[in-house]
Structure formats: C-alpha cells, structure tokens
C-alpha cells in the first residue's frame, strides 16, 4: 500500500495550502516548495493516514472509529475490512468453532456474522456489490485496492475461501438502519408489542387512513356533544378538520408520543423560566441605556423603544407564572412593541445604529447591542403567546394522536419513524434479546455515522457497548462530522460526539485525510473558503481538517480547477452603487452559461455529459437549469426531492386509474380526457355535458354495444355543435374518434379490474391506452417513461398487497399527490445514458464528478421549521408549536435549531466543493460586503469570509471592463465576470435588456437550425427503424435452420404434400434445433452413454410430436438422428462429460445492452440469445462460451466460422460483464453432427479447429 493517507485529526491546523504544495513537490510536481516545517507536517499526516487505513482492516476487537474526510475512500476501507475479516480472523473463528464443517457452510456462517448498517438501501446494495467484486479479484489471485499482503491469507488459502464466500454472499447483512430494525422487530414482534405480522407503513397511506377514521368518529361525537366540546370549538374557531388531519398525520410520521401533550405546557415552573429570562433581558437593555436615549430628539425611535422596555420590565415583574399571566403580558407587549419598535430592537441586535444613536449611546453601544440581540427573540416570542389556544390544542391533539396510534396498532401497521423507537425499546426492555443479537454479530459496521440521531446511537450502543466483553461484536464506525448535513432528519452532532467519547474512552478517532478525488488546487480552495467559517463548537460544529492530495494521483489537471462566476455588471454597480441584477434574471443567465460551458466541454474536449453535475441548494432552483439545458440540447438527468406525483404524466395516469376504478369521479374523467393521450378540446366540454357525458361514462362497463352506441351518438352530436359554433380556430380534426376510443378503453379496463389478476390488469392498462407511447413522443420522453414505470409498479404493488378494492386504491392515489418522497430513498438511476446530473447538494453527497457547477450561491435556504406545527425530538427539551401557538420555552428550541442550521449551511458548502475530480465552478451574485458569520444566510455570505480575500465586487469588474477582459486570476482561482463577456454580435449577455433573448434569429441562424433539425429527423427515423431487440445469431438463422430448412419439404411447393398440412421449412428447422438443444440442456452427465442416448431419443420424440410437423416430421426425425449420432458416437459426448465439474452454466439466457461499437444495425434495446454452454477450461482456467451447431461444419459445406464472430462477441461480452472477467472469454462452435470444436477468434483471424 502506498503512503497515501491522512493524519490525526488534531494535527497542526496550520497545514494549509503551503503544506499541500510541499507534498505535491515531493511527488514530483512543479509547485513551489514550502518551508521544511510544513513539509514535515504533511509527511506526518500522510503517514498517519496510512496507519489509520491499516488499523481499519487489521484491528477487529473493541471499537475502531474512522473520521474519513471527503474523497478519502471510506467505502473502499469498509469493503476491505469486511473482506479481511471474512478471509482471515472470521474464517479462523468459524472453523475453530465447527471443525470439519464444509467450506460452503463456513462461508455462510462467517458472512452472516457481519452486519453493515448504511444510510440508504442503495448504499447497502453498493457495498454488497463491491464486496463481491473484491472477492472475485481474490478468487482470481489478484489483490483488491486497499488490501496489503498481510491483510489476507496467502493466495492458496484466499482463493478457495473467496470462492466459497462468493457463493454465500447473500448471507452478508448489509442494510439501512431502518431495514435492520424492521428485521429485529419481525423476529420479536410480541416482545415489542407489535402485531405478529406487522407491516411498515412506508408510504403513509395507512397513517392517513387511521387519522381519517379517528377524526370521522371523534368529530361526529364532538358536535353531537355540543359547541362547548373542546374538539368542536377547535374545529369551529382554531383549525378545520382538514388541518387537524394534516397535523396528526405529520406527528405520526415523526413518531411523536401522545404523552408529550398530556402535561400542562403552562405549568408555573415553565412560565417562571420565561418570565425570568424576559425580565433579565429587558433589565439588561434598560441598564445599558442608563438614560442616554433621553438626550435624543423625540422624533427618533430610540426614546420610544427604551420607554416601552421600562413599561414591559414592570409588567414582566408583576406577571404571575401562569397561563393567564402570560396571556395578559403578551397583550401588553404587543401594545408596547408594535412592529416598528420591535424592528428597531432587532436592528440594534445586528449592530445597526443611526448616527445620532451611536453618538448618544457612545461606549454603551456594544453592551446595548448584546442586550438587544438577546431581547428581540424573547420579545417576539412572548408577544405571540396564545396560552388558551395552545391548551385547547393539546387537549384535542393528545387524545386524537393516541387513538390514531391505537388504530394503526389494530391494523398491524408501524409508521416508518416508529421502527427506530420500537427497536430501541425492545433492546432496552429485553436484555436477553439484546444479548442474543450481540452473540449473533461478529462485526458491526456503521457507515455515515455522523448522520445518526440519539435513538440510532442508543441502538448501536446496546448491541456493541453493553453486556460482557466477550459477547460484544467488533464495532467499526465511519463518518465525517464535516459532512453532517441532515439535521432536518434528526442527525445530531452532539449525539455523535457523545457516542465516540463513550465508545473510545476518551481516545481520538483515526483520521483519513488523503483525498483521492480532487487535485491540490481544489483542496487548497476548500481550505481557504471553509476553514475560516467552520469554527469548532462542541455539539454544533466540528473542527475543520484540511485534506491532502493523493501523491499517486495521475489525472491531468484542468486548465482552471477552480472558477468563480460572479454575476456583476460594472456599469450597473457604477450607476447604482450596488448590483441591481434581479435574482430570477441571475438564475436564468447563469443556467444558460452553464449550458454553453457543458456543450463546449462535450464538443471540444470530449468530456462525457455524465461526468458533469449541476448542484443547487434547493430543489426549487432546478427548473431554471432544466430550461437552459433543454434549450441548448444538453441531455440531463434530474435527481431532486420533488415527488413524481406532481409531474404532468403521473397526474394524467393517476386520473385514468381513478376514472377506471371510480365511475363517479367526474373530475378524474375530465382530467384524463383532457390529457395529451386523448386531447378533448375545452370548447367541447359544455356540449358534452349537456348531452350527459358524465352519466353515460358512469354506465360504461365491458363490451356493451348499447351503452357504446349511446356514448358515440352523444359525442358525435357534441362534435357537430362544436364545429358549428367555432369561430376562428377550428377544433382538432378527429377528436371525436379519439374520445369514443378512450371511453371504450375505459369500459374494458373497468371490467378487467374486476375479473383479471392485478398484473394482467396493469399490463392491459399499458397496452390498451398506450400511455407510455404517448409520453415517449413528448419532450424529455425518457424521463417521463421512467416515472410512468415507477408509477405503474407502485400501482401494481398496491393491488398485490391486498388493497385491491377500488376505494382503497383511489384514496391512495389522491393522497400520493400530497405525499413527500421517502427521505431515506437512495439516489435514483438516470433513465438516460450520457446525461448531466442535476440535483440538490444533499442528493450529491457521496457522489463525485469530473466537473461540478454550484449555482445560486446567493440563494438563502428556506426555513427548516415545520410551519405552524413543529415538535421537539426525543433528545430535545419538551417544547413545541401547535397550529402556530407556542409553549413558553419554544423560543429556546427554535434558537438552538437555528444555530445548528447555520452550522449545517457551512457543511453543505464543504460537501458541494469537494465533489469535483477535475474542476469546480461556483456561480452567483456575490455579496458586496461581508456580514458577520452569525448573520450569514447563504453560501455567498460564507464565501465573503474567504481566507486571502477576494476581488472587490465594486472595483475589480470595473477594472476588468476597462482593460477589455472579463476574468482575472486571483489567489489560485479564476474569477469570471460573464456579464462583461461579448456574445454573438459583440454584446455581453447582460447588456441592454439585461440579457433578454433577441427578438428574432438571423437568417444564418435559422438556416443552421433548419439543417440541424433535418439531420436530427434523419437520425430519429433511422433509430425508429431499428428493432427493439435482436438475436445475436446471424440474420435469418435459427438453430439448425441451414441444412434442415434446405432439405425440408416446402408446404408452398406443388406436389403431393401441398394439400396436406405440412410445416414450412423454417418451422421444421426450428423444431430440429429446439429438440436437440432441449436434449443437451437436460442431459445427465453422470449416466452411461447408451442410457443417455436412450433418454435423448425419448425426449426428442416427445418434442417432435408436440411440434405437430405433419408430413415433415419424418424428415425432422432423420435430421435429429443424424445430429445425435454424431454427438454420441463422436468425441463431443465424452468431452462434455469430462467437463462436467467445470461447467458454469448450460442454456444461459443472454440479454446485453448494445454498445457504441455495435454499429447502426444494433437493436435499440438489447441483444438476446442463449449461450448453450459456459465452462472453465480445466487446463488454463479460462472461461469458455460454446454454441452448439446442428448444421455441417465449414469444411463440410456449412457456413464459415467467421460468420459467427458477431454472435460470439455478444455472448462473450455478456458473460464477461456478468462474471466480472478481466478479459473476454473464449468462444467456440461445437459442430454436433461432425464432432468438431472450432474456436472462433473474436478479433480478425482464422478459425482454429
């Protein structure tokens, strides 16, 4: 293993860009040398990284914690640890426990003792895949990256063990934490207090149904009891039943316990704490003023604010600690501090004083600012309190939440969030179950540990840190606190740090700091930008740790590895003193610039689109990017948090299903008939309604001629009315035909839903309506098809899971449009091949790309709170807000979350900047003046604190403009000012109309666009003419079709057989080939030759009889006998029997996606075929693919072997990909009749017999 690694995380914080310069110079680079101390520090950190990697794969007792910085290869370390354990200590332990047990069973025992917990199921699948790849390499005698010679046994032991482990790889437990908890609960449901056959309410449909059922019952009872009932009053005066349903469903989703609302939120102690804090903050403000404001003129706000503060101070001192006391105080505060005065207090807290105020307050300004900063949130919170409303909400929500949870329990449904709490409680209440789990696990690995919450930490602790030491599994934790960006999913750095202190006994975790992804120029900039703003604070923000460039990095650097695109217009700044470029216009301009740059990279530098990513802070920023990419004809794959059910094609498909399942849903009927798949014009709806279309459509079912005739008559009459009344634009021709056909389809689908199995119904839905064909023809067809496929698969899942009644499915469809996507879902795969990835920063975590564009850095993230309802987590103080009414201490919880949100914003910037392998581009409207770090609201505000400074936005663009340039080099970064760059016609993109598109294109542009459109049309036509699938065998040839077809009697030829039923030649040939191949597929290689031949003859006879070949049957039998005689009497039967122990597969189905080199005749979808025999050469160990031929060999009048080269390439490529082979396997033709084996070269060259 090379000395590529990290350091102790507490190594010198001064190891900055100069350190990495020394490291690069030592590796042979041409960077300037640094001082010896810096070079020594880099060498020490690299050595520490190397040692950390070794410890990670060699130490298996106790707890090993690894802090892996961005791009340091943590997944490779995880995989190496699993492989090293399974081949070495794990195997030895299992073998010692059960001497003499077969290796296959040992392998399964070893793997089943390894539990790897990941953040998503996609990450778990990737880990299992990479473990398999590493084992395959070891089976071949190679050593995977990340493993040194001493990490695994010698090759003679490692290879057979790896082979056995590969066969048992399904025993490896690689799961998300939620999947792990589900498995644990499923094993002990009664002990956990769950239904024995509980199901997880993953999509929230059960949660909604339970809430709706409880509300239906309780609301009816409340109104029957009278208007004084709490629930009745709440529904009448506070919030309607719909809002109550939303809140209850959200509380169930979060796993909130009903007991939270049982205690009085305005108990005297809680009220007293708020009154004390408010009194102290008001007193601090009054004391800091000390009468100074009295010297200011009366027209200024300051004297009014201080007078109001004195009145409020007296009111707070006199207020009793009760709900009534806080309600009265809130009214007084609202009167004393109207919005204008409250805003003045906020301005003081941010250090914004008028000139007169600064002069009057003089040296008291700092203390006044601190007092105002502490007072403002308290004032705003106390003035907004509504104690009576909150108490009523608690009395309503608590019992309803308990009833909904009970209803879910009756149904055997467990909300997603409850999986964790139920698993934690199970382990806590039943120590014997925790002990059983500990004994079952040998090694417990937890990935992305920085994103765990206190509940998850408790689960891991009970499994790995409790019980007798010999019972405890080895614990391996991997995480990077600098990449903890999921606070809104309860990720908690305080819990992470507390767990490490407990698990490591005060020791520090190992650290990986050698980055294997990015060049030094990017890593230097990451340090310059992030180090000044990532200020260590226990439980809130980790310490920044610089990254070292991998000395073995051999990727050529980009010309400008770091670029900043500053959207600043020098003339605009000169005229207005600041940039007036609107945010929306800036979004459009930077998106268009990104699209141009992507096309340049692809066309001029050959960069694949799939190697590029566009990152945004929030999903709502994606649409502007997509518009620009679409205009520039740049393919893209969107991976955002937006739910599929908001997409147009899913809305239309859901409307169709609802119209099928619910004949009374007129809204769904109209939505479907107005969709592009049917296209009823708006002008037709009134005449259609007047002729009773809803009533007629409601009655449609199956093939009812009478009902169809009535519908068609009404549609034709309505169409005539539309055309008669049309003025100007005529309705589309033939819409009546499309409407009649769509309604006929609707009738058939209703019948199919009642009579067919779910899979048949969904398949008919696809085939009858041609939904997918319609959407494929629209823009972004590939994306639409992928989303439709997911929708139809989810629909089928609903139907097959037992919710097959129409009411349940239609309700699920309505609710799905309101459902947020699963937050633990992994990144979806792109439906396109080479496409730019467009996603949020959160989606990009764990990924890397050659070129990364971080856009809209000036955009502040939206609030992370829950709006009118926000509830504490289990590890937070018991404070909450219900329907806008807050508990007395909620301000402290909100402040704590805001602080963590600001810290997380710094970490999202770190994550975004560390995704690039070659080049990172940061774009946005840069802040002109830095703001204090605690007031930073965007990445642009953070960038203003860059170490080494930045070009002055008010000065440098103007200088560049005067010099006739649009960029400059500054401290290792290329700073671009795109608004200064000329475009076609000489004007910069922001000139004049602020970059608005030209009114019309030039004749040359029109001509070029027309030529390009014609070329695209020809390409589309050629692609449409290609088959979706194509057999790999030579065109026009099936098995045995050559000779058998030539000799078979022709049913179309004149003669005695012409009038009888005779099979065509090709049918005879197929029957011969199929019979022979079926015999060889099922041939028992362990019986004597004569017995095998007798079985073969019997099998052939049955197959030929089933083929019903008529007069041609005799010829077919003769052909089969000729082939089998040659096979059994010749050398091939004995050869196949000898290969028995080395056979990998017989009759292996082949499906292979076409490659770029397959040419214009390749299929659009896939190559298909069947590999007759796959075996390992007993002499060389080489994998061989053999294809049986029933024709004569080339030397006997048959086709030449090179004719089969293309077929061999397809089969060889498929087997190579499936088995992970380093080289293409050998391809052979087995001529069964002649007994010859002919090797077909897959490169140009003669065949070998």
Instruction: Measure the CA–CA gap between 495 and 492, rounded to whole angstroms.
Output: 5
CA dist 469 to 140, 289, 414, 472, 685, Å? 38, 62, 34, 5, 76
The rounded distance, in Å, linking the Cα atoms of 125 and 919 is 29
What sign results for the dihedral spanned by CA atoms 635, 641, 644, 645?
negative
- Token pair of 908 as six digits: 């999202």
Lowest mean pLDDT among 108-117, 584-593, 817-826: 817-826
Tell whether the model's pLDDT for residue 1009 goes beyond 90: no
* Cα(514)–Cα(1) distance, integer angstroms: 13
Q: Where in the chain is the domain with CATH 1.20.120?
A: 268-384
| Domain boundaries for CATH 3.40.50.300 within the chain | 17-182+417-519+538-549, 562-641+835-866+895-994
Here the tokens at position 249 are 């469903």
For residue 477, the surrounding DSSP H or E stretch is strand 474-479
Mean per-residue pLDDT for 191-197? 93
* Number of residues that make up the chain: 1249
| Tokens representing residue 362 in the block | 């003089």
Architecture of domain 562-641+835-866+895-994: 3-Layer(aba) Sandwich (3.40)
Q: How do beta strands 880-882 and 870-871 pair?
A: antiparallel
Q: Which helix (H) or strand (E) holds 1172?
A: strand 1166-1176
User: CB atoms < 10 A from the CB of 802, how many?
Assistant: 9
Report d(CA 484, CA 450) in Å as an integer. Answer: 6
Residue (of 240, 212, 407) closest to 231 by Cα position = 240
Q: CB neighbours of 594 closer than 8 A, spacing ≥ 6?
A: 614, 625, 628, 629, 853, 855, 921, 923
Task: List the CATH code of the domain at 17-182+417-519+538-549.
Answer: 3.40.50.300
- Residue 1152 CA to chain centroid, in angstroms? 26
**Predicted pLDDT of residue 639:** 67
Spatial distance between the Cα atoms of 404 and 409, rounded to a whole number of angstroms: 9
pLDDT of 426: 97
Query: Strand, helix or coil at 616?
Result: strand
Contact by Cβ (8 Å): 484, 456: no
pLDDT at 97: 92
**Where does the chain hold its CATH 1.10.486.10 domain(s)?**
645-816
Give Cα separations from 694 to 654, 676, 679, 720 (angstroms): 18, 20, 17, 19
Q: Reading across the β-sheet that carries 836-840, which strands appear in turn?
A: 636-639, 836-840, 612-616, 849-854, 916-924, 562-566, 973-976, 967-970
Confidence (pLDDT) at 1021: 81
- Specify the 3-state DSSP secondary structure of 970: strand
User: d(Cα 52, Cα 67) in Å, to the nearest integer?
Assistant: 10
Q: Which residues contact 845 (CB under 8 A, 6 or more apart)?
A: 483, 485, 911
- Is residue 13 over pLDDT 90? no
Which CA distances in Å does 416 have to 30, 289, 495, 795?
Answer: 55, 53, 21, 20
Query: Which CATH class name applies to 268-384?
Result: mainly alpha
3-state secondary structure of 1020: helix
Indicate the pairing of strand 1166-1176 with strand 1183-1189: antiparallel
Going by C-alpha positions, the residue among 772, 565, 766 that lies closest to residue 649 is 772
Mean pLDDT of the chain: 84
Q: Which stretches does DSSP call E strand in 781-933? A: 836-840, 849-854, 870-871, 880-882, 885-886, 916-924
Residue 295 sits at φ, ψ, to 5 deg, of: -80, -10
Q: Which residues contact 847 (CB under 8 A, 6 or more apart)?
A: 613, 827, 837, 915
Task: Classify 645-816 by CATH class.
Answer: mainly alpha
Q: Give start-end residues of each CATH 3.90.320 domain in the chain.
A: 1030-1239
Helix (H, G, I), strand (E, B) or coil at 763: helix
Pairing of strands 1166-1176, 1029-1031: parallel
Cα 771 from Cα 199, distance rounded (Å): 32
Query: What pLDDT does 628 receive?
Result: 92
Q: How would CATH label the architecture of 1030-1239?
A: Alpha-Beta Complex (3.90)
Read off the pLDDT of each residue in 646-668 and give the average, rounded to a whole number. 85
Least confident of 635-649, 1004-1018, 1118-1132: 635-649
List, in order, residues 6 or more apart from 1180 with CB less than 8 Å away: none
Query: Which residues touch 1031 (CB under 8 Å, ≥6 apart)?
Result: 1167, 1168, 1169
Between 84-88, 267-271, 677-681, 960-964, the lowest mean confidence (pLDDT) is in: 960-964
3-state secondary structure 414-458: EECCHHHHHHHHHHHHCHHHHHHHHHHCCEEEECCHHHCCHHHHH
Beta strands of 75-186 (E only): which ranges? 114-118, 173-176
> In this model, does residue 539 exceed pLDDT 80?
yes
pLDDT at position 72, please?
95
Q: How far apart are the two ends of the chain, measured CA to CA in Å? A: 45
Top-confidence residue, 864 or 698: 698
Among 598, 1103, 1155, 589, CA closest to 851: 598
* Residue 783 pLDDT grade (very low, low, confident, very high; cuts 50, 70, 90): low
Q: What one-character DSSP code corresponds to residue 316?
A: H
- Pair of tokens at residue 173: 């437990």
- Please, what is the Cα angle at 227 between 225 and 229, to 5 degrees? 60
> Is the pLDDT at 510 greater than 70, yes or no?
yes
Asked if 463 contacts 473 with a C-beta cutoff of 8 angstroms, the reply is yes
How many angstroms separate the CA atoms of 415 and 883, rounded?
23
The whole-angstrom separation of Cα 1219 and Cα 133 is 9
Across 27-31, 749-753, 1155-1159, least confident range: 27-31
* Among 304-318, 413-427, 436-450, 1002-1016, the least confident range: 1002-1016
The answer to whether the beta carbons of residues 465 and 437 sit under 8 Å apart is no
Q: Is 520 helix (H, G, I), strand (E, B) or coil?
A: helix
In angstroms, rounded to a whole number, what is the distance separating the alpha carbons of residues 711 and 739?
10
167-171, 256-260, 320-324, 1048-1052: which range is least confident on average? 1048-1052
The DSSP code for 362 is G
The pLDDT, as a whole number, for residue 956 is 82
Strand, coil or helix: 395: helix
Cα–Cα nearest to 765, from 752, 778, 781: 752
Burial 324-358 (b: 16+ CB within 10 A, else e): ebbbbbbebbeebbeeebbebbbbbbeeebeeebe
Asked whether 606 and 581 are in contact (CB, 8 A), the reply is no
Residues 419-459 pLDDT 10s: 999 999 999 999 999 999 999 999 999 999 999 899 999 99
Whether the model pTM is above 0.85 = no
Q: Residues 1071-1113: pLDDT tens digits?
A: 888 888 888 888 888 889 999 899 888 888 887 877 777 787 8
**CA atoms of 278 and 736, how far apart (whole Å):** 72
Mean pLDDT of the 147-153 span? 90
Name the DSSP letter for residue 727. Answer: -
């Amino acid at each position: 293993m090379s000395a590529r690694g990290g350091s102790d995380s507490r190594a010198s914080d001064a190891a900055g860009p100069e350190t990495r310069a020394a490291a690069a110079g030592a590796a042979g680079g041409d960077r300037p040398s640094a001082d010896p101390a810096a070079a020594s520090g880099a060498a020490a950190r690299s050595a520490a990284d190397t040692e950390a990697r070794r410890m990670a794969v060699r130490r298996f007792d106790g707890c090993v914690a690894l802090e892996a910085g961005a791009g340091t290869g943590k997944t490779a370390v995880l995989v190496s640890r699993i492989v090293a354990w399974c081949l070495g200590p794990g195997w030895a332990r299992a073998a010692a426990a059960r001497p003499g047990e077969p290796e296959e069973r040992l392998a399964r025992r070893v793997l089943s003792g390894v539990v790897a917990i990941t953040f998503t199921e996609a990450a778990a699948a990737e880990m299992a895949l990479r473990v398999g790849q590493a084992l395959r390499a070891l089976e071949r005698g190679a050593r995977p990256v990340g493993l040194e010679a001493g990490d695994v046994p010698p090759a003679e032991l490692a290879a057979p063990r790896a082979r056995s482990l590969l066969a048992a790889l399904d025993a490896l437990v690689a799961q998300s934490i939620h999947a792990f908890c589900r498995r644990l609960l499923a094993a002990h449901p009664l002990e956990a207090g769950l239904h024995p056959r509980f199901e997880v309410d993953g999509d929230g449909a059960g949660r909604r149904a339970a809430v709706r059922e409880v509300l239906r019952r309780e609301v009816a009872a409340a109104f029957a009891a009278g208007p004084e009932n709490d629930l009745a009053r709440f529904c009448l005066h506070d919030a309607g039943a719909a809002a109550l349903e939303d809140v209850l469903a959200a509380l169930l989703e979060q796993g909130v316990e009903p007991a939270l609302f049982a205690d009085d939120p305005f108990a005297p102690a809680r009220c007293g704490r708020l009154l004390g804090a408010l009194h102290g903050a008001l007193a601090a403000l009054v004391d800091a003023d000390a009468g100074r404001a009295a010297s200011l003129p009366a027209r200024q706000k300051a004297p009014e604010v201080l007078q109001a503060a004195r009145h409020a101070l007296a009111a707070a001192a006199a207020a009793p600690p009760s709900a009534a006391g806080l309600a009265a105080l809130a009214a007084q505060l609202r009167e004393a501090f109207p919005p204008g005065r409250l805003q003045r207090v906020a301005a003081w807290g941010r250090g914004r004083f008028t000139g007169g105020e600064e002069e009057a307050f003089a040296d008291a300004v700092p203390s006044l600012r601190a007092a105002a900063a502490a007072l403002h949130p308290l004032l705003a919170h106390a003035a907004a309190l509504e104690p009576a409303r909150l108490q009523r909400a608690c009395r309503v929500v608590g019992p309803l939440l308990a009833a909904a949870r009970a209803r879910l329990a009756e149904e055997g449904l467990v909300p997603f969030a409850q999986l964790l709490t139920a698993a934690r409680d199970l382990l806590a209440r039943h120590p014997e179950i925790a002990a059983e789990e500990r004994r079952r696990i040998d090694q417990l690995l937890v990935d992305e540990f920085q994103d765990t919450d206190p509940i998850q930490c408790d689960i891991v602790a009970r499994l790995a840190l409790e019980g007798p030491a010999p019972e405890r599994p080895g614990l391996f934790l991997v995480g990077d606190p600098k990449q903890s960006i999921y606070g809104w999913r309860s990720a908690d750095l305080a819990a992470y740090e507390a767990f490490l202190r407990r698990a490591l006994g005060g020791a520090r975790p190992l650290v990986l700091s050698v980055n294997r992804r990015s060049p030094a120029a990017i890593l230097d900039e990451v340090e310059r930008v992030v180090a000044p703003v990532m200020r260590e604070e226990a439980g809130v923000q980790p310490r920044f740790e610089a990254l070292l460039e991998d000395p073995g990095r051999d990727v050529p650097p980009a010309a400008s590895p770091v670029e900043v695109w500053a959207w600043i217009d020098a003339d605009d700044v000169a005229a207005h003193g600041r940039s007036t470029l609107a945010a929306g216009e800036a979004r459009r301009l930077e998106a268009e610039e990104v699209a141009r740059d992507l096309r340049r990279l692809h066309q001029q530098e050959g960069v694949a689109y799939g190697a590029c990513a566009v990152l945004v802070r929030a999903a709502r920023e994606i649409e502007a990017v997509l518009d620009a990419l679409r205009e520039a004809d740049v393919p893209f794959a969107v991976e955002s948090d937006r739910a599929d059910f908001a997409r147009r094609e899913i809305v239309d498909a859901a409307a169709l299903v609802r119209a099928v399942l619910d004949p009374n849903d007129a809204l769904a009927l109209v939505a479907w008939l107005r969709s592009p798949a049917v296209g009823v014009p708006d002008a037709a709806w009134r005449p259609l309604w007047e002729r009773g279309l809803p009533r007629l459509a409601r009655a449609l079912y199956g093939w009812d001629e009478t009902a169809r005739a009535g519908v068609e008559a009404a549609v034709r009459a309505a169409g005539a009315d539309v055309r008669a009344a049309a003025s100007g634009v005529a309705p589309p021709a033939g819409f009546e035909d499309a409407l009649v056909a769509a309604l006929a389809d609707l009738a058939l689908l209703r019948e199919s839903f009642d009579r067919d199995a779910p899979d048949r119904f969904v398949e008919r839905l696809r085939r009858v309506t041609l939904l997918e064909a319609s959407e494929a023809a629209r823009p972004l067809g590939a994306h639409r098809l992928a989303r439709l496929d997911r929708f139809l698969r989810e629909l089928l899942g609903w139907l097959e899971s037992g919710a097959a009644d129409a009411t349940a499915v239609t309700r699920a469809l309505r609710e799905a449009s309101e459902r947020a996507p699963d937050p633990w879902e992994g990144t979806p795969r792109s439906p396109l091949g080479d496409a730019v990835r467009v996603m949020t920063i959160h989606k990009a975590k764990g990924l890397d790309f050659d070129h990364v564009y971080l856009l809209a850095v000036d955009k502040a993230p939206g609030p992370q709170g829950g709006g009118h309802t926000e509830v504490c987590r289990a590890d937070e103080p018991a404070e909450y807000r219900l329907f806008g009414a807050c508990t007395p201490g909620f301000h402290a919880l909100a402040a704590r979350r805001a602080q963590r949100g600001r810290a997380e914003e710094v970490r999202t910037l770190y994550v975004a900047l560390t995704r690039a392998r070659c080049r990172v581009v940061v774009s946005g409207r840069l802040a002109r003046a830095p703001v204090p770090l605690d007031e930073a609201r965007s990445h642009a505000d953070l960038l203003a604190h860059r170490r080494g400074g930045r070009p002055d936005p008010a000065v440098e663009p103007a200088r560049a403009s005067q010099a006739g340039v649009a960029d400059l080099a500054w401290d290792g970064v290329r700073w671009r000012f795109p608004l200064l760059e000329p475009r076609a016609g000489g004007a910069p993109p922001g000139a004049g109309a602020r970059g608005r598109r030209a009114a019309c294109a030039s004749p040359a542009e029109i001509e070029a666009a027309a030529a390009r459109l014609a070329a695209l049309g020809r390409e589309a036509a050629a692609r449409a003419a290609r088959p979706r699938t194509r057999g790999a065998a030579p065109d026009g040839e099936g098995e045995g079709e050559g000779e058998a077809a030539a000799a078979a009697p022709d049913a179309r030829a004149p003669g005695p057989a012409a009038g009888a039923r005779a099979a065509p030649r090709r049918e005879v040939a197929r029957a011969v080939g199929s019979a022979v191949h079926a015999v060889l597929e099922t041939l028992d290689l362990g019986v004597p030759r004569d017995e095998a031949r007798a079985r073969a003859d019997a099998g052939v006879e049955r197959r030929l009889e089933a083929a019903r070949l008529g007069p041609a049957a005799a010829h077919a039998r003769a052909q089969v006998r000729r082939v089998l005689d040659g096979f059994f009497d010749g050398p091939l039967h004995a050869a196949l029997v000898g290969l028995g122990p080395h056979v990998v597969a017989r009759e292996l189905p082949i499906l292979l996606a076409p490659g770029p080199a397959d040419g214009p005749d390749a299929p659009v979808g896939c190559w298909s075929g069947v590999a007759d025999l796959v075996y390992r050469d007993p002499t060389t160990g080489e994998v061989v693919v053999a294809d049986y031929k029933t024709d004569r060999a080339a030397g006997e009048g048959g086709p030449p072997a090179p004719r089969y080269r293309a077929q061999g390439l397809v089969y060889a490529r498929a087997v190579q990909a499936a088995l992970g082979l380093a080289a293409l396997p050998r391809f052979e033709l087995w001529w069964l009749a002649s007994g010859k084996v002919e090797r077909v070269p897959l490169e140009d060259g003669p065949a070998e017999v």
